[in-house]
Chain A
Amino acid sequence: MIPIPFDYETLRLIWWALLGVLLIGIAVMDGFDMGVAFLNPILGRTDSERRVIINTVGPVWEGNQVWLITGGGAIFAAWPAVYAASFSGFYLAMFLVLVSLILRPVSFEYRNKYIGKKRAAWDYTLFMSGLVPPLVFGVAFGNLFLGVPFTLDAFQMPHYADSLIMGFLHLLKPFALLTGLTSVVMLASHGAVYLAAKSDGTVQRRAVTAARIGWLVWLVLFIAGGFWVSQLDGYTITSAMDMNGISNPRTKTVIVEHGIWLRNYHAYPILYMVPLLAILSSFATAFLLRAKRFATAFIPSGLSVACTIATAGIALFPFLMTSSLEPSHSLTVWDASSSRLTLWLMTIAATIFVPIVLIYSSWAFHILRGALSEELVRTNDKHLY
């Protein structure tokens, strides 16, 4: 067999970065569909306005959703311990996400096949599908900073302290609610920018307003979150760590210490560029919206989303999932990955397929370019949502 050209440490770092790319891909691409679905009943007053809103994402949401599906598969393959501990740990929350994710395609596809009240009901199922996943993912991310109550036994089986309802309620700590809210506001604002670029008239006007208010609220939440994190108890590895070592999360020592979540930023102040870029991008978005450069505004909007996630990821590094019950069992980049061979094979697969995906998705967006109007929806009644 051909030798693997990277050492284990490098492959783990690559897959930590790719995990970030996937999460950002989910938030930037699938995030704007969710934002639009969330905004639909708020910004659309009449059925034809709502049809415009829904049809702006109609042709692309399905492709975008694959970021989420692929993200799940990639975590399974590259970070199986994280996959095992997180989804079973966030059990009820995951169930709600799954239900809302199933509601989404169904609502899109079936909405226009009904009229009147029944049709309006699908707007609310669609709304839930744009609210619940960003909320739950945001809350879950917040809990990674606070610690999740799990331990691993000698067989590496994850166990949890909580049962069904309490496990869910314990996720809803104040800081996690803040990150959940930040996530919802961020994706709604990002969706509003997309909507501004893809619609005209009244809908567009409302979308611009929503985007500007949304990004302002996000700014407040993001900065508040940053200060809050600096005051939380953070996790740090105290034992010597072999970055090329075996993936066994039970062999290290981790302690919890007040106010150390920003240690990576203190160690490398250049990293402060990432949150700064998130903030500057939001100003750029607001500026471009004022200048009526709606399509261009989507770029800094996406950049703000990406940098928000990167900001949190950098603070957590090298932790992937922290354990509040047994901090030493926390899952990290150095001890929760799959084998070197699997990481290498997955790297090859990503190198081949990600560029291909980007090429044909860009082609699809190009074919489907242009804004939607109520007029267009009326004349194409038969083959639009």
Chain B
Amino acid sequence: MEHFDPVILARLQFAATALYHFLFVPLTLGLSWLLVILEATYVMTGRPVWKDAVKFWGKLFGINFAMGVATGITMEFQFGTNWAYYSHYVGDIFGTPLAIEGLMAFFLESTMVGLFFFGWNKMTRVQHLATTGFLALGTNLSAVWILIANGWMQNPVGAEFNVDTMRMEMHSFYELIFNPVAQAKFVHTVSAGYVCGSMFVLAISSYFLLKQQHVEIMKRSFAVAASFGLAGALSVAVLGDESGYTVNSHQQMKMAAIEAMWDTEPAPAALTIFAIPSTGTMSNRYEIKIPYLLGLIGTRSFNETIPGINQLIAQSEGRIANGIKAYGAMVAINKNPKDNAAREVLKTTGKDLGYGLLLKANGIDPMKATTADITATSKTLIPDVFVLFWAFHIMVACGLWFILLFALAFWKASKRRFATSWLYKAALYSLPLPWVAIELGWIIAEYGRQPWAIEGILPTRLGASANSAPMVMTSLFGFVAFYTVLLIVDVTLMIRYAKKGPETAPEGAHA
């Protein structure tokens, strides 16, 4: 087992547990607001059919919520277990949003979720509605803070390297929380959650409407999901575009990779909608392009160019050279903290220290790096273009389909035409798609940032703990096996309780 690479295993573990955790989170984000809408309607109209709907969807919410919380704990502690150097190196900045997330969001949602399920007979209707509202607010606030943390990994603002403590330290909390990447990511991610929750309700309502069961509850649920889902789907797309814009300013390599754009094109650049990119040959086969479109999205102008992968690599060689100087200065200061000449060097080159560390991450001593080493290392900055290109294009295709589907559902629901079986079938079969799109979205965000854990600051390879391969392998297998069993239990229960339908008085009693 010793020939396995512990860093790769730790990355696999992170990817597996994060993707797994995010099977549950978006449904919580979206379904919590749908519960608020359904319950608010119940409080306003006083009609029990709405309460039955809240209880039915609430039960499914509960099954999902338990898994979301449980798998989130692994995420938090995993930084400490598998990524000890990362924790040391950026804990000063990265830990703060996590702690505030606990204080501000997790306490709120977790306290309210208990009241939501156990407080039906102990509170007034308005109090219970307020509980549901705070539950939804709490889940969404947690997304704010975790995306501030993740946004910082993509665009590390408001922090500086401190050579005396050998880590990044915060100098502006304001820049951290108003990081434009974090803002765009937040709205994009919660909107995706709203789409996910809406699709869940729309699909299951459609299932019952196809079978002509629980029609009163289901057509109401269908209508609410259609409207909320349409708003969410539009917001995902608009903020996806906003994300595109911010990615371009801060992570040009990711932008170039998801578009498989190897070379800078004359402005405005064309948008590639089909290609078979290969990182090996650094080119695409079978391209289909739409002229001008990428330039418009990426720069919102007709005359700015978007840099291609080859140009970005050429630029990075300069930063690596700078990073070598910074690394040398850092080592000198480590030996002699009073070396003021080295401190001056670090002051001017410190922002490229991460590129010096990148050499180290590739097994090269930065102090002895040759020009060939620098060129080879700059090539490692190219993420997996094939995966990113296709992940991005499938995600966008799903996003466009959601807009169409929710628009049709909304139109039908607003006309009160609840007898269109093809639409129900389309909704039912689209049930897995939000999860597909969302997981691909995270693959783009995280895999697309490689080789960096913190963009331009800390290479992923250096962030890992000094754990041996057997250790990481044990926990990786442990989690995968354990999570697989849980997923089977979860999905089985979810299907069983969804199929069982709402517990209500006999059909028609609520008219």
Instruction: Please determine whether B466 and A159 come into contact, CB atoms closer than 8 angstroms.
Output: yes
Q: Which of B76, B112, B167, B173 contacts A345 (CB 8 A)?
A: B173
Provide the bound-state CA to CA distance between A24 and B279, in Å: 53
Provide the bound-state CA to CA distance between A155 and B88, in Å: 10
Q: Which residues of A contact B92 (CB under 8 A)?
A: 77, 80, 338-339, 342
A248 CB to closest chain B CB, in angstroms? 6
Instruction: Please determine whether B474 and A102 come into contact, CB atoms closer than 8 angstroms.
Output: no
Instruction: Please determine whether B69 and A65 come into contact, CB atoms closer than 8 angstroms.
Output: yes
Provide the bound-state CA to CA distance between A134 and B108, in Å: 25
Q: Which residues of A contact B108 (CB under 8 A)?
A: 357, 360
Does A60 sit at the interface, judged by CB under 8 A? yes
| Known interface pairs A86-B80, A95-B81, A248-B164; A80-B91 also in contact (CB < 8 Å) | yes
The residue in chain A whose Cβ has the minimal distance to the Cβ of B68 is: A105
CB proximity to B under 8 Å, residues A76-123: 76-78, 80-81, 83-88, 91-92, 94-95, 97-99, 101-106, 108-110, 113
Q: Which residues of A contact B94 (CB under 8 A)?
A: 76
Instruction: Please determine whether B102 and A74 come into contact, CB atoms closer than 8 angstroms.
Output: yes
Instruction: Please determine whether A84 and B66 come into contact, CB atoms closer than 8 angstroms.
Output: no
Instruction: Please determine whether B76 and A69 come into contact, CB atoms closer than 8 angstroms.
Output: yes
Q: Which residues of B contact A368 (CB under 8 A)?
A: 114-115, 118-119, 122
Instruction: Please determine whether A63 and B70 come into contact, CB atoms closer than 8 angstroms.
Output: no
Does B493 sit at the interface, judged by CB under 8 A? yes
Instruction: Please determine whether B478 and A84 come into contact, CB atoms closer than 8 angstroms.
Output: no
Provide the bound-state CA to CA distance between A343 and B84, in Å: 20
Interface-located stretch among A275-283, A300-308, A347-355: A347-355
Q: Which residues of B contact A226 (CB under 8 A)?
A: none
A370 CB to closest chain B CB, in angstroms? 9
B394 CB to closest chain A CB, in angstroms? 30
Q: Which residues of A contact B99 (CB under 8 A)?
A: 70, 73-74, 76-78, 346, 349
Instruction: Please determine whether A105 and B70 come into contact, CB atoms closer than 8 angstroms.
Output: yes
Q: Which residues of B contact A349 (CB under 8 A)?
A: 96, 99-100, 103-104
A9 CB to closest chain B CB, in angstroms? 16
Does A361 sit at the interface, judged by CB under 8 A? yes
Instruction: Please determine whether B123 and A367 come into contact, CB atoms closer than 8 angstroms.
Output: yes
Provide the bound-state CA to CA distance between A133 and B298, in Å: 49
Instruction: Please determine whether B119 and A367 come into contact, CB atoms closer than 8 angstroms.
Output: yes
Instruction: Please determine whether A341 and B170 come into contact, CB atoms closer than 8 angstroms.
Output: yes
Provide the bound-state CA to CA distance between A105 and B70, in Å: 6
A199 CB to closest chain B CB, in angstroms? 15
Instruction: Please determine whether A345 and B471 come into contact, CB atoms closer than 8 angstroms.
Output: no
| A78, A95, A345, A368: most-surrounded residue (chain B CB, <10 A) | A95
Q: Which of A66, A95, A164 contacts B102 (CB 8 A)?
A: A66
Instruction: Please determine whether A59 and B118 come into contact, CB atoms closer than 8 angstroms.
Output: yes
CB proximity to B under 8 Å, residues A353-381: 353-354, 357, 360-361, 364, 367-368, 380
Q: Which of B66, B117, B497 contacts A105 (CB 8 A)?
A: B66
The residue in chain B whose Cβ has the minimal distance to the Cβ of A354 is: B103
Provide the bound-state CA to CA distance between A318 and B232, in Å: 51
The residue in chain A whose Cβ has the minimal distance to the Cβ of B117 is: A383
Instruction: Please determine whether B114 and A80 come into contact, CB atoms closer than 8 angstroms.
Output: no
Does B414 sit at the interface, judged by CB under 8 A? no
Does A384 sit at the interface, judged by CB under 8 A? yes
Instruction: Please determine whether A76 and B478 come into contact, CB atoms closer than 8 angstroms.
Output: no
The residue in chain A whose Cβ has the minimal distance to the Cβ of B357 is: A155
Provide the bound-state CA to CA distance between A43 and B507, in Å: 43
The residue in chain A whose Cβ has the minimal distance to the Cβ of B330 is: A155
Q: Which residues of B contact A357 (CB under 8 A)?
A: 103, 107-108, 111
Q: Which residues of A contact B123 (CB under 8 A)?
A: 367
Instruction: Please determine whether B107 and A63 come into contact, CB atoms closer than 8 angstroms.
Output: yes
Instruction: Please determine whether B102 and A70 come into contact, CB atoms closer than 8 angstroms.
Output: yes
Provide the bound-state CA to CA distance between A364 and B110, in Å: 11
B468 CB to closest chain A CB, in angstroms? 6
The residue in chain A whose Cβ has the minimal distance to the Cβ of B473 is: A164
Provide the bound-state CA to CA distance between A156 and B465, in Å: 11
Provide the bound-state CA to CA distance between A177 and B152, in Å: 41
Does A13 sit at the interface, judged by CB under 8 A? no
A239 CB to closest chain B CB, in angstroms? 16
| B55, B166, B478: most-surrounded residue (chain A CB, <10 A) | B166
Q: Which residues of A contact B66 (CB under 8 A)?
A: 105-106, 108-110
The residue in chain A whose Cβ has the minimal distance to the Cβ of B334 is: A154
Provide the bound-state CA to CA distance between A248 and B163, in Å: 10
B56 CB to closest chain A CB, in angstroms? 12
Provide the bound-state CA to CA distance between A97 and B98, in Å: 20
| A60, A97, A164: most-surrounded residue (chain B CB, <10 A) | A164
B160 CB to closest chain A CB, in angstroms? 10
B168 CB to closest chain A CB, in angstroms? 10
Instruction: Please determine whether A73 and B467 come into contact, CB atoms closer than 8 angstroms.
Output: no
Instruction: Please determine whether A361 and B88 come into contact, CB atoms closer than 8 angstroms.
Output: no
Provide the bound-state CA to CA distance between A338 and B134, in Å: 32
Q: Which residues of A contact B74 (CB under 8 A)?
A: 98, 102
A378 CB to closest chain B CB, in angstroms? 15
Does B355 sit at the interface, judged by CB under 8 A? no
Provide the bound-state CA to CA distance between A164 and B6, in Å: 13
B12 CB to closest chain A CB, in angstroms? 15
Instruction: Please determine whether A99 and B478 come into contact, CB atoms closer than 8 angstroms.
Output: yes
The residue in chain A whose Cβ has the minimal distance to the Cβ of B468 is: A163
Q: Which residues of B contact A84 (CB under 8 A)?
A: 80, 84-85, 87-88, 91, 465
Instruction: Please determine whether A342 and B70 come into contact, CB atoms closer than 8 angstroms.
Output: no
Does A330 sit at the interface, judged by CB under 8 A? no
Q: Which residues of A contact B101 (CB under 8 A)?
A: 73
Q: Which residues of A contact B169 (CB under 8 A)?
A: 338-339, 341-342
The residue in chain A whose Cβ has the minimal distance to the Cβ of B122 is: A367
Q: Which of B114, B466, B471, B496 contacts A157 (CB 8 A)?
A: B466
Q: Which of A59, A97, A102, A156 contacts B117 (CB 8 A)?
A: A59
Provide the bound-state CA to CA distance between A334 and B157, in Å: 27
Instruction: Please determine whether A92 and B474 come into contact, CB atoms closer than 8 angstroms.
Output: yes
A110 CB to closest chain B CB, in angstroms? 6
Provide the bound-state CA to CA distance between A346 and B467, in Å: 30
| Known interface pairs A246-B165, A368-B119; A76-B468 also in contact (CB < 8 Å) | no
Does B300 sit at the interface, judged by CB under 8 A? no
CB proximity to A under 8 Å, residues B58-86: 62-63, 66-67, 69-74, 76-77, 79-82, 84-85
Does A44 sit at the interface, judged by CB under 8 A? no
Provide the bound-state CA to CA distance between A167 and B334, in Å: 30
A152 CB to closest chain B CB, in angstroms? 9
| Known interface pairs A102-B73, A346-B99, A349-B100; A113-B493 also in contact (CB < 8 Å) | yes
Does B113 sit at the interface, judged by CB under 8 A? yes
Instruction: Please determine whether B84 and A63 come into contact, CB atoms closer than 8 angstroms.
Output: no
Instruction: Please determine whether B165 and A247 come into contact, CB atoms closer than 8 angstroms.
Output: yes
CB proximity to A under 8 Å, residues B458-511: 465-468, 470-471, 474-475, 478, 482, 486, 489, 493, 496-497, 503
Can you offer 17 A-B residue contacts whose CB atoms are under 8 A? Answer: A58-B118, A61-B114, A72-B76, A83-B95, A86-B80, A101-B70, A101-B73, A102-B71, A106-B66, A106-B486, A110-B493, A339-B169, A346-B99, A349-B103, A360-B108, A360-B134, A364-B115
With contacts A65-B69, A70-B106, A95-B474 known, what are 8 further pairs, Cβ within 8 A?
A: A69-B102, A77-B92, A88-B82, A113-B497, A164-B471, A247-B165, A339-B162, A357-B107
- The list of the 7 closest CB pairs from A to B, nearest first, reads A80-B91, A87-B80, A77-B95, A70-B102, A76-B95, A59-B114, A73-B99
Question: Which residues from chain A sit less than 8 Å from chain B, CB to CB?
Answer: 58-63, 65-66, 68-78, 80-81, 83-88, 91-92, 94-95, 97-99, 101-106, 108-110, 113, 154-160, 163-164, 246-248, 338-339, 341-342, 345-346, 349-350, 353-354, 357, 360-361, 364, 367-368, 380, 382-384
